[in-house]
Amino acid sequence: MTETPPTPLDARPRLVLASGSPRRLALLQQAGLEPDALLPADLDETPLKSEKPRELVRRLARAKLDIAVAAARSGAELQQAYVVAADTVVAVGRRILPKAEVTDEAAACMRLLSGRTHRVYTAVCVAGPKDRPRERLVETRVRFKRLSAREIESYLASGEWRGKAGGYAIQGLAGSFVVKLVGSYSAVVGLPLYETVALLDGEGFPVRAAWRDAV
């Protein structure tokens, strides 16, 4: 029986992650997907007037995708690459929480989230070589315990909240605040794995090709 020769490296489909987030990279790697390039977009993420959380997260994910696709297509190596982009928004009702950059913002987020349920919206967009964008929006409900003043003070002192949507990262210290989660844990971290793999698979990317060599 004649063995099928291995696919030349140059013929292997390329994958681009439109993010510099180490969390999104780690999630892709968890699914056995190693991007060939990281192309984060520098965007103004300020919500538009009266913009709802769903509308914002979709707009930002699509904008990240468009910027990364344009950058990828500008060079020969990534002209046929598959591109993945995502964005995450934390909201209480229609109120969109910021990506906390200063202590006061983080403190306000913790006081608002304390003892109540909030929603985390993550939109993921994928484009294949034909540049036909496909999108999924994942909504997850998360309930925090009632936080004491001491817990909030200690959490703020950790600095872990900096740059995080809603002032927290569920995979970090704030995971101990979560009483209940209904939806996708990986979406709250930043990239819904089921939806991402499904979109890539639907576009023809060989998502399981590396699984055979996984340890």
pLDDT of 3 over the 80 cut: no
Contact 117, 181 (CB under 8 A): no
**Cβ atoms within 10 Å of 138's Cβ, excluding its own:** 22
Task: Look at residue 4 and tell me if it is in a domain.
Answer: no
Among the listed residues 36, 42, 44, 87, the single catalytic one is: 87
Q: If pLDDT is split at 50, 70 and 90, which confidence band does 7 have?
A: very low
Q: Which residues span the domain enclosing 133?
A: 13-209
Which two three-digit tokens encode residue 199? 């979109």
Task: Look at residue 6 and tell me if it is in a domain.
Answer: no
Task: Look at residue 188 and tell me if it is in a domain.
Answer: yes
- Grouping H, G, I as helix, E, B as strand and the rest as coil, residue 116 is coil
**Cβ atoms within 10 Å of 183's Cβ, excluding its own:** 17
What one-letter code names the amino acid at 144? F
pLDDT of residue 1: 42
Task: Look at residue 134 and tell me if it is in a domain.
Answer: yes
pLDDT tens per residue, range 129-156: 998 999 999 999 999 999 999 999 999 9
Q: What distances in angstroms separate CA 152 from CA 98, 160, 172, 180, 189, one per listed residue?
A: 17, 12, 14, 19, 21
pLDDT tens per residue, range 74-94: 988 999 999 999 999 999 999
Task: Look at residue 40 and tell me if it is in a domain.
Answer: yes
Q: What is the count of structural domains for the chain?
A: 1
Q: Based on the residue annotation, tell me whether 104 is a catalytic residue of this protein.
A: no
CATH number of 198's domain? 3.90.950.10
pTM of the model: 0.91
